[in-house]
Amino acid sequence: MKFIETRGNDGQRPSHINFSEAILGPISSFGGIYSPESLPDLGEDFLQNHLDKDYKTLARDLLAAFEIDIDQDVIEKALSLYDEFDDNNNPVPVNKVYDDLYVSELYHGPTRAFKDMALQPFGLVLSALAQKRNENYLILAATSGDTGPAALETFKNRENVQVACLYPEGGTSDVQRLQMVTEDAKNLKVIGIHGDFDDAQKALKQLLGSDTFKQKLQEKNIFLSAANSVNFGRIIFQTIYHIHSYLELVRQKAITLGEKVYLNVPSGNFGNALGGYYAIQMGLPVEKILIASNNNNILTQLIKTGSYDLRNKSVIATTSPAMDILKSSNIERILFDLFGESRTRELMLQLDKENHYQLTDEELSEIQKIFVADYCNDDEGKKYIKDAFAKGYLMDPHTATCFKAYETCRDKPLKTIVYSTAEWTKFSPVIANALTGEVDTHDLDALKSIAKEASIEIPGVISDLFEKEIAQKTVIDKENIEAEILSFL
């Protein structure tokens, strides 16, 4: 499989590259990113043949269908990391909550968030490629809370790799922050910035596209890559669990093979939703993808009106902070797949220059054939948390936003798969407030309160964080990011 550029080719780069090249250097001409030239057509036979297969077999066979240029022994080692999840036979359990709503739990890995599903194997693959090429890489990561811990976890102490992780100081939960700042591996650097996630992501993209920064790295014999979902190495692993979740509904006799479902995704940077979109293009029977946002409802506006408008907007802090994002990187791949490179380049450059673009009526119609969206405010989210808990299900505030879309966005009585992106432990003060009304509770007290209320234990990987020494203490203005990274190197 070959990868091509979302904004067209500038004549300075190859027009087609392999998967390994796309993940080692994820930024393409004119500031674009890479997308697959074509997708495999899986067909119903593929689904039928995997009804009695485990997650790793599904993943292995899907990667084979993509024909990626990664040695098979590396793929096997990467997929074996799923054995370290809570249940090595089923790293992604799918649980029934209501008669027509099932929750696909993506958070049973080491950092208790869905980013482990992609970053655990991705980290091993990238490190193996760097070693094979005898090259050293700086991996940049910008996080709204979950990518950072997952990237640090997968890359720590790996050969030929160093990581610089940017996070908005005060813009993550305490548990997410502790997961990052207690990491003490010598190849990791965690940098808090005064700003929001969009500031961190903008800095990451600027560095990835900066020739002068790359030249400074080359002087140190270091190449540049990224762990964010601008990197297709993330996305390819995020297609797998959509197919797995559908097959789980068939196994549970909730649906018959070939029956359509809704995919219901809490969305920030849109990588999770993009994985679902690609699964549809490869043949997964899906009616539509329901996009759930919080008060940073830029995606709702886009999907309802065709307008992507950042003018006079700033990020709003919410109780679902991993979704506190205004510039969703993976919308670009949707635009490219539907409208081509010229139109994508035009729209993305307009967004960069004017903070706005408007789709035509015809383009909006194409978007709405696949996606429907709504947003959930904080109070609504806490009510959904309380209501689900009364039914015996404990969920985090990001998952809760999907329950609003479930109520408002469906026009057919089809089964709905909600994607739960984080364990309750990551956002305990919000959940404690929803369940008991307690306010201004510190994370550890809230964890204990919820554990008592739900008669469950706090996972040791979370409770131990509060005893660890803070190893990463850097907090800087965003203008100083490049200098801080170079100093680390």
Give the DSSP per-residue string, 305-350.
Answer: HSEEE-TT--PPP-SSGGG--SS-TTHHHHHHHHH-HHHHHHHHHH
Task: Kindly provide the b/e burial profile for residues 420-455, where b requires at least 16 CB atoms within 10 angstroms of the residue's own CB.
Answer: bbbbbbbbbbbbbbbbeeeeebebbebbbbbbeeee
Amino acid at 159: E
User: What are the backbone dihedrals phi and psi of residue 475, each rounded to the nearest 5 degrees, phi first?
Assistant: -135, 125
Is 276:263 a contact under the CB 8 Å cutoff? Answer: yes
State how far the Cα of 308 lies from the Cα of 342, in Å rounded to an integer.
Answer: 18
Q: Which helix (H) or strand (E) holds 92?
A: none
Segment holding 222, helix H or strand E: strand 222-226
Q: Which of 160, 188, 78 is nearest to 122 (CA)?
A: 78
Cβ distance 144 to 321 under 8 Å?
yes
Structure confidence at residue 441 (pLDDT): 84
Tens of pLDDT along the chain (489 residues) come to 999 999 999 999 999 999 999 999 999 999 999 999 999 999 999 999 999 999 999 999 999 999 999 999 999 999 999 999 999 999 999 999 999 999 999 999 999 999 999 999 999 999 999 999 999 999 999 998 899 999 999 999 999 999 999 999 999 999 999 999 999 999 999 999 999 999 999 999 999 999 999 999 999 999 999 999 999 999 999 999 999 999 999 999 999 999 999 999 999 899 999 999 999 999 999 999 999 999 999 999 999 999 999 999 999 999 999 999 999 999 999 999 999 999 999 999 999 999 999 999 999 999 999 999 999 999 999 999 999 999 999 999 999 999 999 999 999 999 999 999 999 999 999 999 999 999 988 899 999 999 999 999 999 999 999 999 999 999 999 999 999 999 999
Half-sphere exposure of 117 (CA within 13 A, CB side): 30
Q: Which two tokens stand for residue 227?
A: 């762990």
**Residue 215 and residue 487 in contact, taking contact as beta carbons nearer than 8 Å:** no
Q: CA–CA separation, 39 vs 73, rounded Å?
A: 24
Backbone angles phi, psi at 218, to 5 degrees: -60, -30
Only one residue has tokens 């408002």, namely: 408
The confidence score (pLDDT) of residue 204 equals 92
Answer yes or no: pTM beyond 0.85: yes
- Reading the block at residue 474, the tokens are 């850097």
Report the pLDDT value the prediction gives residue 158, as an integer from 0 to 100.
Answer: 97
36 phi/psi in degrees, rounded to 5: -65, 140
* pLDDT at site 2: 96
C-beta separation of 105 from 92 below 8 A: yes
State residue 458's pLDDT score.
96
Helices and strands, number each (H, E), in the chain:
22, 15
Which residues neighbour 97 within 8 Å (Cβ) at sequence distance 6 or greater? 103, 388, 391, 393, 418
User: What residue ranges in 143-215 does DSSP mark as E strands?
Assistant: 161-168, 188-194
Task: Give the CATH number of domain 76-113+234-459; options: 3.90.1150.10, 3.30.479.30, 3.40.50.1100, 1.10.150.120.
Answer: 3.40.50.1100
d(CA 193, CA 359): 34
**What gap in Å lies between CA 203 and CA 200, rounded to an integer?**
5
Length of the chain: 489
Q: Give CA–CA dist 300/409, Å, rounded.
A: 11
Region label for 392, one of left (φ > 0), alpha (ψ between -120 and 50) or beta (otherwise): left
**78 CB-side CA count, 13 A:** 27
Nearest CA-CA partner of 35 in 230, 181, 218: 230
DSSP 8-state assignment for residue 28: -
Contact 241, 214 (CB under 8 A): no
Contact present, 262 and 287 (Cβ < 8 Å): yes
Amino acid letter at 133?
R
**Token pair recorded at residue 262:** 């809704």
